[in-house]
Chain A
Amino acid sequence: MEPSMPQQTSPGLAESAKPPKSQSPWALARRKFLRNKIAMISLVFLLIVCVMSVLAEPLTMPVEETAKINLTQMSKEPSAEHFFGTDKSGRDVFARTLHGGKTSLLLAFSITSAVIAIGTLVGAAAGFFGGWVDNALMRFTDFMMNFPFLLFVIVLKSIFIESSTGTLIFVISVISWTGTARLVRSKVMAEKENEYIMSAISIGSSSPKIIFKHLLPNVMSTIIVQATITLAAMIVAETALSFLGFGVPINIPTWGNMLQEARSPDVLTSKWWIWIPPAAILTLTILSINFIGEGLKDAFNPKSNR
């Protein structure tokens, strides 16, 4: 009975030929993402890396074993006994790569969760409330942004002498949320101008309800993409810090700590098996995370038709 109005460019339009069961924006994005080959391959790769890392202990040896120096097995080339060979201290590179992945990924995921949580909360509050709340939060964000990342982490790490993985997670999280906060703030500011926010207020919804129920789901796509970028960046950060010796304590295997060995020219030039495996997996992991992020961005973009 309604004369049909011209439809907006909407996620549903491309698929309108065969109407699927659910037309929620999430379902549409999921379908689009599942069709993206590169993103799917990357996702599978990332999952394999994650599962292998989590299962490092049953697959190889307990983590304490990987730190044990074995003078009889120094710098052995890859063999049936040691898939990736052994390093200069006679430790199994394959086991260390898996255990390293566990630490590196745990670190990256923890930091990313913290960063996204803090950044989203700060950004959403600043963007939604505006006024002095916005001013206070954003000046604080600017203040936090002033710290040079590397220097700050190094200084804080030297303050907390008994540094552990937990300290590192805390230290990096504390100064890395600023970009996310700014991004979420700008997204929320744009989104809250929409009339549906006004109409949500006009039916008596409280501010927290509006932020969490109406605003955040609408900026969630941005947040998710930001999370993938952060995840990749944090793996790199951990590796870089560990490589420099300011990251995870040296006795815990991580990809960064393993790469540290490549600082010696001898390893770099003639003992490739010591550093290639962690480096290759590191690179591929970051690459796959970036592809996944790209795929998600594409999936959430109603204007792309893949």
Chain B
Amino acid sequence: MSAKSHIHKDAPLLEVKNLETAFSIDGTYYNAVDNVSFRVKPRQIVGIVGESGCGKSVMSLSVMQLLPKGIGEIRNGEILFDGVHLENMTDSEINRIRGKEIAMIFQEPMTSLNPVFSIGFQLQEVFFNHMKISKKEAKLKSIALLKSVGISRPEKIVDEYPHQLSGGMRQRVMIAIAIACQPKLLIADEPTTALDVTVQAQILELLKEIQEVNDMSVILITHDLGVVAEMCDEVIVMYAGKIAERTDVDSLFHNPKHPYTQLLMGAIPKMDEEVETLSTIKGIVPSLKNMTKTGCKFAARCPKAMPECVTVTPQLAESEEGHEVACLLYETSRPNTEVNA
């Protein structure tokens, strides 16, 4: 399952190159996603982890072209989906891809469904958007879909309204809507954060099952490393809009390289250890306005920070085969050194 970034034989489904997404605050642009590149291969589950405010969601919104208009903007870089550029598409062009080729699940199942319409109505909308289909067929299809996401008595649920369903059921409905047209890529933005733990496990299991059945790729955005360990093939650790580390899930858990990743790992509570207080990472992610332009953005909170961390910007580079990291502790991350992994 080792994911290597330089394999060319199976072309990536999604390729993000040097993406810079910025938000304008008082007329000045601040990069929320700063020069990020990664690939998602077919049938791969890529996890994106990081604290709140480190650019995970903004990156996924950039891919879907869902950035708030007039405020957020892709300033630079390319987003290639199946070889097609997404970043400059018009609304009607991207609308043909949204929901059909790329679908998205959101964090908050409580508000992700329109309260005034029945479940069936909302499910059918995606069919009407992308297929020529009769009302009757759409209804049959949506019942089948609901069944496939593990909703019992789907014939009844299609006529019910969102407020009659529990959070877990609503998230299942959201998943059903997302997979209705069998997209090639599913972006799940913290799909289980708002659910309680038992439901979380069910939803994750369902996602994995659907991924296997439909041969989808999945980008799973989360701040739960447990979810990553269970689900993902490859992991991207983000900090302050940049990729700190990118590798396959095994190497990440056995050999975390970036100090940030190491601290994140340390912050996971362990069942077999008894500690007074859980370890935390001091400080918070700097706000967009207060981010340093040069140097490592994590330097201020990093226990291993060196004086040069403030002045030299580390580069994301392979320090080991298939294991990219952006930290000056590793020779390869120093600017102007040859990458010879």
Are both chains from one complex? yes
Question: Hey, which chain B residues are within 8 Å of A23, CB to CB?
Answer: 160-161, 163-164
Tell whether B282 is near chain A: CB-to-CB under 8 Å: no
Q: Which residue of A lies closest to B127 (CB)?
A: A203
Residue of chain A at shortest CB distance from B121:
A213
The distance in angstroms between the C-alpha atoms of A198 and B96, with both chains bound, is 16
A196 an interface residue at 8 Å Cβ cutoff?
Answer: yes
Residues of A within 8 A of B169 (CB): 2
B115 close to A (CB within 8 Å): yes
Chain A residue numbers with a CB within 8 Å of B54 are: none
CB distance from A84 to the nearest CB of B (A): 46
Taken together as a complex, chains A and B put the C-alpha atoms of A229 and B160 apart, in Å, by: 33
Q: CA A129 – CA B91 in complex, angstroms?
A: 13
Question: Considering the chains assembled together, what is the distance between the CA atoms of A205 and B96 in angstroms?
Answer: 9
Question: What is the CA–CA distance of A7 and B166 in the complex, to the nearest angstrom?
Answer: 7
Residues facing A in B116-135 (CB within 8 A) are 116-118, 125-126, 129-130
| Given A3-B198, A204-B97, A204-B129: A196 in contact with B163 (beta carbons within 8 A) | no
> Is there an interface contact between A195 and B126, defined as CB atoms closer than 8 Å?
no
Min CB gap B176→A, angstroms: 11
Q: Which of B70-121 contact A (CB under 8 A)?
A: 70, 91-92, 95-100, 103-104, 106-108, 110-118
Q: Judge whether A12 and B161 touch: CB under 8 Å.
A: yes
Does B306 count as interface, using CB distance less than 8 angstroms?
Answer: no
Given the complex, which residues of B lie within 8 Å of A146, measured CB to CB? none
**B91 & A218 in contact (Cβ 8 Å cutoff):** no
* Interchain CA distance A273-B311 in the complex, whole Å: 92
How far apart sit A206 and B96, CA to CA, in the bound complex (Å)? Answer: 10
Contact between chains at B125 and A202 (CB < 8 Å): no
Are B113 and A196 in contact, CB atoms less than 8 angstroms apart?
A: yes
Complex: A300 Cα to B275 Cα, angstroms:
52
- Does B66 count as interface, using CB distance less than 8 angstroms? yes
The reply to whether B116 and A26 contact each other, CB–CB distance below 8 Å, is yes
Query: Contacts A23-B164, A25-B115, A25-B161 hold; do A206 and B70 have CB atoms under 8 A apart?
Result: no
Chain B residue total in the interface (Cβ 8 A): 46
Contact B160–A204 (Cβ < 8 Å) = no
Give the CA-CA distance A272 to B179 in the complex, in Å.
Answer: 73
B163 to chain A: which residues have CB within 8 Å?
Answer: 7-8, 10-12, 23
- How long is the Cα–Cα vector from A194 to B112 in the complex, in angstroms? 7
What residues on B are CB-neighbors of A3 within 8 Å? 166, 168, 196, 198-199
Q: B166 and A218: CB pair below 8 A?
A: no
Asked if B114 and A200 make an inter-chain contact with CB atoms under 8 angstroms apart, the answer reads yes
Interface string of B26-70 (1 = CB under 8 A from A): 000000000000000000000000000000000000001010011
| A-B pair number, CB within 8 angstroms | 105
- A201: interface (CB < 8 Å): yes
Number of chain A residues close to chain B: CB under 8 A: 34
B2 on the interface (CB 8 Å rule)? no
> Are A202 and B199 in contact, with the CB atoms below 8 A?
no
Within the complex, which residue of B99, B111, B118, B180 is in contact with A196, where a contact is CB–CB below 8 Å? B111
Known contacts A203-B98, A203-B125; is-contact A4 B166 (Cβ 8 Å):
yes
Which residues of B lie under 8 Å from residue A194 when comparing CB positions?
111
Instruction: State whether the Cβ of A245 lies closer than 8 Å to any Cβ in chain B.
Output: no
Of residues 201 through 221 on chain A, the ones whose CB sits less than 8 Å from some CB of chain B are 201-207, 213-214, 217-218
Complex Cα spacing A223 to B163, Å: 23
> Is there an interface contact between B95 and A204, defined as CB atoms closer than 8 Å?
yes
Are A201 and B114 within 8 A (Cβ)?
no
Tell me whether A130 is interfacial, beta carbon within 8 Å: yes
| A270 CB-CB contact with B under 8 Å | no
Nearest residue in B to A12 (C-beta to C-beta)?
Answer: B163
7 closest A-B pairs by beta carbon, nearest first, are: A203-B99, A10-B163, A204-B99, A131-B70, A204-B98, A5-B166, A5-B167
- Residue ranges of B at the interface with A (Cβ–Cβ < 8 Å): 64, 66, 69-70, 91-92, 95-100, 103-104, 106-108, 110-118, 125-126, 129-130, 152, 160-161, 163-164, 166-169, 174, 177-178, 180, 196, 198-199
Which A residues form the contact surface with B (CB < 8 A)? Answer: 1-5, 7-8, 10-12, 23-26, 129-131, 194-196, 198-207, 213-214, 217-218
Beyond A3-B166, A12-B161, 10 additional pairs, beta carbon < 8 A: A2-B199, A5-B196, A7-B166, A23-B164, A129-B69, A199-B106, A203-B125, A204-B130, A206-B91, A206-B92
